[in-house]
Structure 1
């Protein structure tokens, strides 16, 4: 496996043999990409590219696979039950369109297929966080699809976020899909606004919602790892409900969380220490939530640099900003996070014949 960053498609080195995955920002001309790449490929649109310990607002991340990766690509329509035959003990990279009602039922069904595989995935799409065809191949683009990339190499996965409880517990007394209607039998937005006002002096309205809410996500306590699974609020609805990036089930117990830049960076460093292997044969992948970028602004590069420092300069950090972070590592089912730092260290060592 080899990873390379390109600013534009015309910089790509042509080759007819290597299977490839392209992670691109929405500024990239996919038609031009198809002209430059001669062999079949798969790809996904992402908000940002992370390459060589830097954050890029535009560009292409090319992942070339070789014969020792034994790569398989599965392009799956999420409106249908997943039908794939997965090899045991493989690494599965998943890139999914989260902005549709089929995603969570699909994910639950896909989870039943997993036995000894490790999943390392991301929600994909553009910076606008709106529905769009975000998976593509050399023929066309696809909406409501997931792309699974299966490789032989093992991966070590770590998940941390740095958000701490501000208030709770609260019970989700009414919800449907990714909308919370009631918390403790009261309109969800009213409860959320009151907590922020009373405990942190923040006045939140529909007009300033994004600017304020990016610092106050929700957290679901995971008893498997004693870590909160973070959920991002997007906006209030006309019914005083809260539209979320990912769903929260009725009767779930949640907390309103708070964080600061230093705490988020510290959590990322802890994750790197536990997850990354400082060895030249390891590839280090980072899927870091776009909402961390939006919250931290210019300080986000400090998070990437702090993670890279834990590798002793052996290998640079590559990856993307994500719209939901997906893994089954450390859990008894597939989990979807928001505002979270997902790290993977892939053993890319040559295999002796």
Structure 2
């Protein structure tokens, strides 16, 4: 996959690519005026998704497109329903690097990633993120030239080598707690008590703020949940709203009997963690001719950083070569794996990658 190029509008992209026949991958910022019918004027294949913001070097935009052309040895797979991945597909044979964009608000992400893990080659590397809109509505967000889908995914396979790193920078506040009742991405009880009541008492005490009917996300963006794994790795889960039954709705699944901590954030630590991930990535891939970096950074993480988020992009870019490009998106969840370990869906994290 070639480095991304930014366009302010679909019209600009079509005019600039009038004679292009390459297959392309597009990330479209949420407020971009895009008509899928117009995509049919492009001569190659198009696969893409709608994300809250796109990232291009030191800037991020809620209007615009990131366009990536694919090499001849790369290929697309559209998964129209996350519940059904063809595990017998020859698409995955002899491919060791994959980029995935999926419906980040779907309730079927875990099953899809489990199926994907079963079908990819041993030691395959996978990165990606979740498409979606800031309305938190489960609208169709994955598209081709012909149709737009929800509960879907795009997989890009390449024979190139993928180097990747993930970081989050969130800190322990309280816990551990046992998830005693949960269903997919809905957290119902912790230690046999209503999960929101437990969460509320701890967060209100630490923040000095009081939850009301309309401010849950404003407070919760600073206090994610951390699922503790057997290797002491923490997978962050983002609480986004309270449902009608007073349960916490998360971006991504949380399994019953999981051990979790309540986390808190500090701007400097979050930025430092992302910068360290990029530094480690570039050190690992220093023999690679390509030093362009693709990034999937969580939208709620950027909201937490607020006015400091541009500083994070500046810091990341400062460790890259001057003519290298940083491109990608702010997403609803991030995807990454480590060689033969499971492919995980993270929240409030930053995933960076280089293809060689």
TM-score between the two structures when normalised by the length of structure 1: 0.92
Provide, for residues 263-311 of structure 1, a one-character-per-residue CA deviation record: whole Å limited to 9, x for no partner.
1101111111111256662220110001112211221111111111111
Match of 2:9 in 1: 8
Cα distance, 1:98 vs structure 2: 3.0
Counterpart of 1:18 in 2: which secondary structure? coil
| Contact map agreement 2:176 2:260 (CA 8 A) in 1 | yes
| Contact map agreement 1:89 1:154 (CA 8 A) in 2 | no
| Contact map agreement 1:28 1:60 (CA 8 A) in 2 | no
Match of 1:40 in 2: 45
Cα RMSD (Å) = 1.8
Name whichever of 333-342 and 117-126 sits farther off.
117-126
After superposition, residues 83-94 of structure 1 pair within 5 angstroms as: 83=87, 84-85=89-90, 86-94=92-100
1:95 partnered with 2:101: yes
Cα distance, 1:153 vs structure 2: 1.3
| Contact map agreement 1:196 1:204 (CA 8 A) in 2 | no
Match of 2:275 in 1: 269
| Contact map agreement 1:82 1:110 (CA 8 A) in 2 | no
Name whichever of 162-171 and 228-237 sits farther off.
228-237
Structure 2 residue runs of 5 or longer lacking an equivalent are none
Match of 2:131 in 1: 124
Structure 1 residue runs of 5 or longer lacking an equivalent are 348-353
1:248 partnered with 2:249: no
Cα distance between partner residues in 2 of 1:14 and 1:192: 53
Q: Please, which of 56, 59, 68 is the counterpart of residue 51 of structure 1?
A: 56
Cα distance between partner residues in 2 of 1:37 and 1:81: 28
After superposition, residues 48-197 of structure 1 pair within 5 angstroms as: 48-67=53-72, 70-76=73-79, 77-83=81-87, 84-85=89-90, 86-114=92-120, 115-197=122-204
Cα distance between partner residues in 2 of 1:112 and 1:19: 27
| Contact map agreement 2:291 2:320 (CA 8 A) in 1 | no
Provide, for residues 12-57 of structure 1, a one-character-per-residue CA deviation record: whole Å limited to 9, x for no partner.
2223431111111232313364154222211111111111321111
Match of 2:310 in 1: 301
Cα distance, 1:174 vs structure 2: 0.8
Residues 52/64 of structure 1: CA separation in 2 closer, same or farther (3 Å cut): same
1:337 partnered with 2:346: yes
Counterpart of 2:119 in 1: which secondary structure? coil
| Contact map agreement 1:171 1:254 (CA 8 A) in 2 | yes
Name whichever of 37-46 and 287-296 sits farther off.
37-46
Name whichever of 242-251 and 276-285 sits farther off.
276-285
Residues 271/2 of structure 1: CA separation in 2 closer, same or farther (3 Å cut): closer
| Contact map agreement 2:54 2:330 (CA 8 A) in 1 | yes
